[in-house]
Structure 1
Amino acid sequence: MAAALLYIFNPADHGFYPRCYLKVMTGLDCPGCGGLRATHQLLHGHIAEAFALNPLFVVAVPIGGLVALLMLAESLTGRKWPRIISMTATIWICATVTVAFAVLRNIPWRAWLGL
């Protein structure tokens, strides 16, 4: 249902979607800002446009989907899949990447480059 709503109604054009409180209060983009608009673009097959809106989200979607499929397969078969890294390391990596993305997306790169 949510995917159908996002497919039909572009968040960039319709104001009934929730607004990011961090963006409203500070003007800064949170790591999730642009996620709804990116989802709309992905549902329409526009990967480059989605990536421009929120690259972290676009990269995380297939990874999250793969993890969900592996967890489903584990629960259905009872077979444990080999782990490349520990859960603790995974959490730290995800947290570090998310915080770094939040900081980097709010740095005025174009102003520094004179663009």
Structure 2
Amino acid sequence: MTNFHYVPVAVDRAKQRTIAAVIWMGLGSIAIFLFFFNPASASNQWFPKCPFRMVTGWQCPGCGSTRACYQLLHLHPVAAFKLNPLMVMTLPFIVYGFLGFTKSAITGKPHRRIFIPPIYLWAWLVLLIFFWVFRNTPWYPFVS
């Protein structure tokens, strides 16, 4: 079996700073919008419905993520966890990646990356599949 290694593409610092600024402005704009508009409200017309759920009637692994982010912005982590536990557990790793990219863009020094052995990535994929299956079952605690 061959080992595949990620080889970063050389991007100049000005371009990295621009990318980081666009990412943070976009995330900030989305967070402000999400803070003021509840995606769970009955009059919600701003947030798209899940296409997978509209077609099949089942929840995908991402269903509830927008509502969970709304709850996190309002400092309700338990409510967010009930809506989408996988997203809440994965979010710190995503934020760490964005912060590391931003630090690298500002300082010019590569950020320290967390080495995740492939077995953990496969385990996360298996967890994702189990989460997808079990969240569509009628048994507690998976029932929505």
Instruction: Give the TM-score taking structure 1 as reference length.
Output: 0.79
Match of 2:64 among 30, 34, 47: 34
- Structure 1 residues 58-111: Cα deviation after superposition (integer angstroms, max 9, x where no partner): 11111221233344445645356365434x44542332221121111111114x
Q: Give me the identity figure in percent.
A: 36
Equivalent residues in 2 for 1:58-77 (5 A)? 58-73=88-103, 76=107
Match of 1:18 among 38, 48, 68: 48
**1:45 alignment partner in structure 2:** 75
Instruction: Name the CA distance, whole Å, in 2 between partners of 1:72 and 1:96.
Output: 30
Match of 1:94 among 120, 124, 134: 124
Instruction: Name the CA distance, whole Å, in 2 between partners of 1:24 and 1:99.
Output: 19
Unmatched runs of 5 consecutive residues or more in structure 2: 1-28
Match of 1:56 among 73, 86, 91: 86
Q: Where is the helix percentage greater, Structure 1 or Structure 2?
A: 1
Unmatched runs of 5 consecutive residues or more in structure 1: 111-115
Instruction: Name the CA distance, whole Å, in 1 between partners of 2:98 and 2:125.
Output: 19
Q: 2:67, 2:83 within 8 Å by CA — same for their partners in 1?
A: yes
Aligned-residue Cα RMSD (Å) equals 2.2
Instruction: Name the CA distance, whole Å, in 2 between partners of 1:26 and 1:79.
Output: 44
Aligned length: 109
**2:112 alignment partner in structure 1:** 81
Larger radius of gyration: 2
Q: 2:100, 2:111 within 8 Å by CA — same for their partners in 1?
A: no
Q: Displacement of 1:7 after TM fit? A: 0.4
